[in-house]
Structure 1
């Protein structure tokens, strides 16, 4: 089959109509990683009755233990579907071993460093090629952390990023026992006996995560740890980031609390940046949680319209504007 891209081998593996939406899934084989077996599936959502009409591209990155269904359900409900109906060109990658993306040969060793250095630049190149425009990026939880690593490591920049929105994203909440070398060593010894963490067993989500991610996170929070890898300090690099930023926390999020999300936001050097905390004290209908901030009827009514406003004009202020409540589907 002829490749759908001039950049690297890409195959259109499915093209479906989902009600008023079109769903095209592409399998990318970038070949830019030390593991040559890496394949990524990238799903594009658009309006079925306007297949040639491509709006502003938006890339949505799911969090840990998740897949493309975080952004849109089989019934066509979700932020991804909402944005497609608003005329945006929506692209939803599934990271290595998630959803339609197969597990690579070295799956157990996958890290944020690999996603940021190899996978996100390949996704950016393909979306830019297909749309002819620079995409906006939205990441939730681990997806946002991966975006922050790619920006701080200078793997992604202005030529491939129009703006960035980080939801429930932080790297500062530390587990203090990991600062004790003996405790960290013991935890590493135990974890290395496994190849993956089961999302279903841990009741965290439908997908598994490679053990490499857990080991990498432990290194960040160790005694002399930092947000980065052997080749760079991503935390320091965030101070050099210049693209518009929206950082969003949730008042009821105990996994990635407001103070930690704010600390990441304050580290980013963008001239145009905004911060929102989704809570009752901030004028919202309730205190949102880690998932509910994007997947709930309340989010559909109060948060999704704010995301659309941000994407229309990342330089226009959202802070101080009361949320416009719309009727949920």
Structure 2
């Protein structure tokens, strides 16, 4: 079968019409990771008229997949942006959704996603769209995006802008600062053999042990956001890509102050902060997931994200546009 890319093997798995939208599903085999079995599924959403606008890549969070952005009924931020004229791409991380589990799935970490997978995704989208994409990441998707930028794995021409929604790395879990607690956590995680999204009631997908162990290290006594030889947190100061942080008063998992702290670490001249909540003029205090997939988000948050992608900045009156 002929590859859909000149970069590495890419298979077009399906090309369907979904009402007023087109849905193309690709499977990438970049071959740039130490685990050569890694394959990544990507869904491309567009309008039936064939017009392709500016590319936007949507990165899902933990325990999730492409359906966070794109429901089977054609509802979600992905279809909304496609109908607004954007060229929408939705990757699924290793072992999530249509992406098969790689041979060493249980060892997968954010470091692998940031170093190998996001650059491969970026290269393919740039090849297909012939322009730099915008990126929108939710929760772990935003953290992975920050890691790729802070680590220097994404080049400037591969990111026109980034939006980090409910993403932070600064919340302190004090018990994990105690070495015996961290050691016990590592022991239990290895015994569990991964995290079940359904059992933990966190979402439809599972997460590998490697990801959880990596998070424990970040929050440990001498932990930091990065790898042994690469401080991602410090590297963010050298990133000049325009960045938007979306946070909410109702987000108990990733509090607004911590999301803002991640934003302020960027060296970008254009840094926008969208703070959701009743105190800011919105109709509700959106939760961690509700900020992007609720009816309230569809009415109030999506237009703001669209405006930011189109204009590069938020409107002067955020709440006024949200209510329009």
Distance 2:47 2:78 in 1: 12
Q: Specify the alignment match of 2:41 in structure 1.
A: 41
Quick one: structure 1 residues 318 and 231, their matched pair in 2 at CA, closer, same or farther if it must change by over 3 Å? farther
Q: State the match for 1:313 in structure 2.
A: 311
Q: Point out where structure 2 has 5 or more consecutive residues left out of the alignment.
A: none
| Map 1:123-272 → 2, pairs under 5 A | 123-272=121-270
> SS state of the match for residue 26, structure 2?
strand
SS in 1 for 2:197: coil
Q: Give, in whole Å, the separation in 1 of the partners of 2:73 and 2:320.
A: 26
Give, in whole Å, the separation in 2 of the partners of 1:319 and 1:252: 23
Equivalent positions of 1:42-57 (< 5 A) are 42-48=42-48, 50-51=49-50, 53-57=51-55
SS in 2 for 1:225: coil
Please give the per-residue CA displacement for 1:118-159, whole angstroms capped at 9, x wherever unaligned: 000000000000011100000000000000000000101311
Q: Which has the higher helix share?
A: 2
**Equivalent pair of 1:241/1:268 in contact (CA under 8 Å):** yes
Moved over 4 A (4+): none
The yes-or-no answer on 1:29 pairing with 2:29 is: yes
* Separation of aligned partners in 2, 1:225 and 1:248: 25
Asked if structure 2 preserves the Cα contact closer than 8 Å seen for 1:152 and 1:234, the reply is yes
CA distance in 2: counterparts of 1:16 and 1:195, whole angstroms? 37
Q: Structure 1: which 5+ residue stretches go unaligned?
A: none
TM-score, normalised relative to structure 2:
0.98
2:307–2:314 CA contact under 8 A, matched in 1 = no
Gap change, CA 1:22 and 1:173, over 3 Å in 2: same
Match of 2:106 among 101, 108, 127: 108
Aligned length: 324
Note the aligned Cα RMSD (angstroms): 1.1
Counterparts of 1:188 and 1:45, CA distance in 2: 40
1:145 and 1:317 map into 2 onto residues whose CA distance is 22
Residue in 2 aligned with 1:324?
321
Secondary structure in 2 aligned to 1:14? strand
d(CA) in 1 for partners of 2:170, 2:36: 33
TM-aligned CA deviation for residue 231 of structure 1 = 2.3
SS in 2 for 1:200: helix
Partner Cα distance (1:287, 1:57) in 2: 30
Task: Decide whether the 8 Å contact of 1:168 with 1:248 is kept in 2.
Answer: yes
